[in-house]
Chain A
Amino acid sequence: MTGNLRLGFHAPQSVGELADLVAEAAHAKIPIEVRGRGSKHEVGRPGQTGSVVSTERLVGISLYEPTELVLSAAAGTPVAEVETVLAERGQQLAFEPIDLGPALGNAPGQASIGGVFATNLSGSRRILAGAARDHLLGVNCVNGWGETFKSGGRVMKNVTGYDLCKAVAGSWGTLAAMTEVTMKVLPVAEEIRTLFCFGLPDRTAVEVMCLCLGTPFEVSGTVHLQGALAGCLSDPDIAKARAAVTAIRVENFPSSVRYRAGRLKERLAAYSPSLELDTARSRAFWEEIRTLRMFQGSDRPLWRISTIPSWAAKLVSIIARTLDVRAVYDWSGGLIWLDTALTSDAGAVEIRRAIAEIGGHATLIRAERATRASVDVFQPLDLGLSALTARLKAAFDPAGILNPGRMYRGV
């Protein structure tokens, strides 16, 4: 070992420097924590790495063509910076990345754009616009040998070779360190309206949300907060209702939004949609959902569960039989954010048992380090998938030095 890779924090200023660090770590078999700006550092199984290699000094937007709906940025570029640049041209990251920072006790807007894709954390608009990974057109990476490679490119359609963008998206830095990402961007809608129903039981709310997604009105957000959580939101008309709240969002040009909101209200008449928020208040509401305001300032363990929408309420009710839980249903029920009382395993046993019955997967997003060390943070995989996972890891990082064990033991 040549001595550059000391224990501690490294923030290389160039891709070459980053590749050298990884190559050296690979040579010496020293595990490293691959990190963007560290906003999600406390998510995942705790690592045993002494060295951190961060992309936080690889910053800057190298390409932005609004008329081609494409933007490239160095992986360490703050997502807030990307969003600001996009907003100047009336565009956005349509998958509405979830900002976990505040729920983890950090400031909002700190995530890197690389980290957004590495964790594939999509927000409420995922139901219409797709996930983060669906918007990732190209990547430049450094693999576990310290070699740079690219996949994809800067065009919208590309089936040239395997889609390794998908492999690295959502791999939490365990396969490669991304150094540059190229993404599809989309226009911001001129107008937004959000319809609200109050006091619906979970099961009814899920029905309502599924019903809305079964219309041709391109509903771009559906979320239901149990009464215990709805009070955390700042919109006065929502907070004062002191009841569960179910929100349905439509976005488009003004006359279309008026029409669609009107048609949806007719469909929802039986559920009394009693509040309608305009564009500005809608933005503020969905921003609070995106930053998980209802789970901020608490240390209760927080889970992110993906399941079959129509079974979501049943899933939560099974868990609630034995655990004190509070739930938010996004994606018409397909995504559940669930916090539980502090227990030694954060409720993992009950939650995973319920999932085994219903279908889906759960990730422990927030918990004490000791808890994350002792329970499966990511959904355990069945044997076949588990073996494939280990082989894919070895195909990118045979020495197992990149974020080892962050997702799964031995991976």
Chain B
Amino acid sequence: MSLLTLPEPDASILGRRDDIIRQLRKLVPDASLIVDVEGRRTFETDALTAYRCLPLAVVLPGSTEEVSKLLRFCHDNKIKVVPRGAGTSLSGGALPLQDAIVLGISRMTRVLAIDEVNRVARVEAGITNIAITNAAAVHGFFYAPDPSSQLACTLGGNIATNAGGAHCLKHGVTTNNLLGLRIVLMNGEIVDVGGDYLDAPGYDFLGLIAGSEGQFGVVTEAAVRLLKAPEGARPMLLGFASSEAAGACVAGIIAAGIVPVAIEFMDRPAIQVCENFAGAGYPLDAEALLIVEVEGSDDEIDALLETITEIAARYSPLVIRVSQSAEESALIWKGRKAAFGAIGQLSDYYCMDGVIPLSRLPEALAEIAEICRRYRFRVANICHAGDGNLHPLILYNANDRAELERAELCGAEILKLCVRLGGCLTGEHGVGIEKRELMRVQFSGADIAQQMRVKNAFDPDWLLNPAKVFPLEGRERQ
């Protein structure tokens, strides 16, 4: 365990563990309940692996009704619940607590309906992100948000974190693609919000629940918007001698009225690692690389990439390479998509998720380099440049406790920098446990108090995914 602490477990709950498990057995089939140490071990962490905690028990319900029964039981017995999708959270959003039950939705994976006329998919929330697109692809549609963990992560988890992805510049993030959902509140009540149509009536609970990090309820079903797949898509690769030039090029593209479907940025260290790993043909002498992807028919793509080429030429690019074939497109993306894995082969890394206004990119990168130098870490930067979402990867040794703590301090300074430059702590990973204590950097006491009152409206006893999102200190004053 490192810098962040978890609250003291409730001894009375721990003492009643056997009894609680006996009660749980009455609520769900035995196969849905995991109580042995080895089984629970699988759930002791998420993708923020520095933190681990063995939960009281793990339940994997198979239906909304089971979720409702479980939550009502936990509510009545004041047992905390940590909802879990696939456990791919990079912010510790699904980290268990010793005195909490982990409620995983991974068995609820059915596609309930694909309605191609109204362009809606209705699915259970445990379905993986990619499975929605796979189900819709038969009809030529896709589900737009595409977080890098899309092979594994669940829609329920995407809703909890309001997940984005590389292509959200054009198509938006989860909240923009959600039409309806079925949520079970902590007291077991099942509430339907929205439906197979645009804009739910009354207050925008859809929008509130998206990004609420599992603290408002457990989403069991959702209706999401499907989009028709474009006729084609093609990337181009641009290498620059400085991040200033790359940033100015992105601004130039947008100023020309072009909103590409994705604009990905990599700095020199990231380029080197990815090129060594994937052999994608990235320019090793460049300080900054952009991958710009546009969609449309072949002619439309040609026209757009030609315009972007003209714009890029103003910023003295070292390399301009427009993909000439599907193979080349795949190769260009291969390097970027392999980035996290490739860097992971070199070293452990701590992935940050700050956001900055794009115009501050060069300044941000210079300061990040300086911060990491001070903390004696190497850093590689990957960025969704179109929306200023930075993923600095701090390279460190996870087995060295002192290094881990140093990496966390280094990361915190980077995030404070993002806020100072006009951005925010997290663009798509969520606050979770990781950035909980940094919330006061971005928000005033009144801002946080207002958010906590909304939490109270859903879960007055703070039983759902507690110890996340808000600083631990000061909660009792709510």
A→B interface (CB under 8 Å): 65-70, 90, 120, 122, 126-127, 130-131, 133-134, 143, 147-151, 153-167, 169-171, 175, 186-190, 210, 213-216, 252-253, 255-256, 259, 306-310, 331, 334-335, 359-361, 363, 378-379, 381-382, 384-385, 388-389, 391-392, 394-396, 407-408
Q: Are A360 and B195 in contact (CB under 8 A)?
A: yes
Q: Which of B169, B258, B424 has the most CB of A within 10 A?
A: B424
Q: Are A335 and B198 in contact (CB under 8 A)?
A: yes
Q: A67, A164, A259, A381: which contacts B359 (Cβ < 8 A)? A: A67
Taken together as a complex, chains A and B put the C-alpha atoms of A335 and B455 apart, in Å, by: 32
Q: Is B212 an interface residue (CB 8 A)?
A: yes
Q: Is B262 an interface residue (CB 8 A)?
A: no
Q: A155, A159, A161, A388: which contacts B357 (Cβ < 8 A)? A: A155
Q: B119, B200, B259, B439: which contacts A214 (Cβ < 8 A)? A: B119
Q: Which of B202, B388, B423 has the most CB of A within 10 A?
A: B202
Q: Find chain B residues with CB under 8 A from A171 CB.
A: 203-204
Q: Are A167 and B207 in contact (CB under 8 A)?
A: yes
B→A interface (CB under 8 Å): 115-119, 140, 161-162, 164, 168-169, 172-173, 175-176, 185, 189-193, 195-208, 210-212, 228-231, 250-252, 254-255, 257-259, 296-297, 299-300, 303-304, 355-359, 384, 386-389, 422-431, 435, 439, 442-444, 446-451, 453-458, 469
Q: How far in angstroms is the closest Cβ of chain A from B230?
A: 5
Q: Are B197 and A360 in contact (CB under 8 A)?
A: yes
Q: How far in angstroms is the closest Cβ of chain B from A207?
A: 8
Q: Are B197 and A309 in contact (CB under 8 A)?
A: yes
Q: Find chain A residues with CB under 8 A from B189 CB.
A: 384
Taken together as a complex, chains A and B put the C-alpha atoms of A189 and B451 apart, in Å, by: 38
Q: Find chain B residues with CB under 8 A from A216 CB.
A: 228-231
Q: Are A385 and B197 in contact (CB under 8 A)?
A: no
Taken together as a complex, chains A and B put the C-alpha atoms of A21 and B355 apart, in Å, by: 35
Given known A-B contacts A157-B389, A159-B429, A161-B469, A385 and B193 have beta carbons under 8 A apart: yes
Taken together as a complex, chains A and B put the C-alpha atoms of A175 and B203 apart, in Å, by: 10
Taken together as a complex, chains A and B put the C-alpha atoms of A149 and B452 apart, in Å, by: 12
Taken together as a complex, chains A and B put the C-alpha atoms of A117 and B324 apart, in Å, by: 44
Q: Are B211 and A157 in contact (CB under 8 A)?
A: no
Closest residue of chain B to A157 (Cβ to Cβ) is: B427
Q: Are B204 and A259 in contact (CB under 8 A)?
A: no
Given known A-B contacts A214-B119, A306-B197, A395-B454, A158 and B300 have beta carbons under 8 A apart: no
Closest residue of chain B to A131 (Cβ to Cβ) is: B199
Q: How far in angstroms is the closest Cβ of chain B from A28?
A: 21
Q: Are B255 and A388 in contact (CB under 8 A)?
A: no
Q: B259, B426, B455: which contacts A186 (Cβ < 8 A)? A: B259
Taken together as a complex, chains A and B put the C-alpha atoms of A356 and B229 apart, in Å, by: 33
Given A155-B357, A216-B228, 18 extra CB contacts under 8 A: A122-B199, A131-B198, A150-B447, A151-B451, A155-B387, A157-B355, A160-B431, A160-B442, A162-B451, A170-B204, A214-B119, A216-B230, A256-B303, A334-B197, A385-B202, A388-B205, A388-B457, A396-B450
Q: A133, A160, A187: which contacts B204 (Cβ < 8 A)? A: A133
Q: Are B197 and A308 in contact (CB under 8 A)?
A: yes
Q: How far in angstroms is the closest Cβ of chain B from A326?
A: 21
Q: How far in angstroms is the closest Cβ of chain A from B292?
A: 15
Q: Are A392 and B454 in contact (CB under 8 A)?
A: yes
Q: Are A163 and B162 in contact (CB under 8 A)?
A: yes
Q: Find chain A residues with CB under 8 A from B210 CB.
A: 163, 166
Closest residue of chain A to B160 (Cβ to Cβ) is: A159
Q: Are B359 and A65 in contact (CB under 8 A)?
A: yes
Taken together as a complex, chains A and B put the C-alpha atoms of A79 and B279 apart, in Å, by: 51
Closest residue of chain B to A384 (Cβ to Cβ) is: B191
Q: Find chain A residues with CB under 8 A from B192 CB.
A: 382, 384-385
Q: Are B389 and A395 in contact (CB under 8 A)?
A: no
17 sampled A-B residue pairs with Cβ under 8 A = A67-B359, A131-B199, A149-B449, A156-B387, A156-B389, A159-B428, A162-B212, A163-B212, A175-B203, A187-B258, A216-B228, A308-B196, A309-B197, A361-B200, A381-B201, A381-B202, A407-B202
Q: Find chain B residues with CB under 8 A from A147 CB.
A: 446, 449-450
Q: Find chain A residues with CB under 8 A from B250 CB.
A: 67
Taken together as a complex, chains A and B put the C-alpha atoms of A158 and B39 apart, in Å, by: 35
Number of A-B contacts (CB under 8 A): 254
Q: How far in angstroms is the closest Cβ of chain B from A191?
A: 11
Q: Find chain B residues with CB under 8 A from A130 CB.
A: 172, 176
Q: B196, B204, B257: which contacts A169 (Cβ < 8 A)? A: B204
Taken together as a complex, chains A and B put the C-alpha atoms of A382 and B202 apart, in Å, by: 11
Taken together as a complex, chains A and B put the C-alpha atoms of A139 and B190 apart, in Å, by: 30
Taken together as a complex, chains A and B put the C-alpha atoms of A265 and B325 apart, in Å, by: 30
Given known A-B contacts A149-B450, A164-B451, A381-B201, A159 and B254 have beta carbons under 8 A apart: no
Given known A-B contacts A162-B211, A359-B197, A395-B456, A255 and B387 have beta carbons under 8 A apart: no
Q: Find chain B residues with CB under 8 A from A395 CB.
A: 450, 453-454, 456-457
Taken together as a complex, chains A and B put the C-alpha atoms of A143 and B452 apart, in Å, by: 14
Q: Are A157 and B388 in contact (CB under 8 A)?
A: yes
Given known A-B contacts A308-B196, A395-B453, A161 and B296 have beta carbons under 8 A apart: no
Given known A-B contacts A126-B198, A160-B439, A259-B300, A392 and B203 have beta carbons under 8 A apart: yes
Q: Are A167 and B208 in contact (CB under 8 A)?
A: yes
Q: How far in angstroms is the closest Cβ of chain A from B179?
A: 10
Q: Are B198 and A361 in contact (CB under 8 A)?
A: no
Closest residue of chain A to B415 (Cβ to Cβ) is: A160
Q: Are A210 and B201 in contact (CB under 8 A)?
A: no
Q: Find chain A residues with CB under 8 A from B206 CB.
A: 166
Q: Find chain B residues with CB under 8 A from A382 CB.
A: 192
Q: Are B448 and A159 in contact (CB under 8 A)?
A: no
Taken together as a complex, chains A and B put the C-alpha atoms of A395 and B442 apart, in Å, by: 21
Q: Which of A169, A214, A310, A396 has the most CB of B within 10 A?
A: A214
Taken together as a complex, chains A and B put the C-alpha atoms of A319 and B102 apart, in Å, by: 48
Q: B116, B207, B426, B453: which contacts A159 (Cβ < 8 A)? A: B426
Taken together as a complex, chains A and B put the C-alpha atoms of A378 and B199 apart, in Å, by: 13
Q: Are B355 and A253 in contact (CB under 8 A)?
A: no
Q: How far in angstroms is the closest Cβ of chain A from B10?
A: 25
Q: Find chain A residues with CB under 8 A from B199 CB.
A: 120, 122, 131, 170, 306
Q: How far in angstroms is the closest Cβ of chain A from B360?
A: 10
Q: Are A255 and B303 in contact (CB under 8 A)?
A: yes
Given known A-B contacts A66-B255, A155-B355, A359-B197, A161 and B203 have beta carbons under 8 A apart: no
Q: Are A162 and B299 in contact (CB under 8 A)?
A: no
Given known A-B contacts A149-B446, A163-B175, A384-B191, A157 and B118 have beta carbons under 8 A apart: no
> What are the nearest 7 A-B pairs in CB distance?
A166-B207, A187-B257, A156-B387, A361-B201, A67-B251, A157-B427, A391-B457
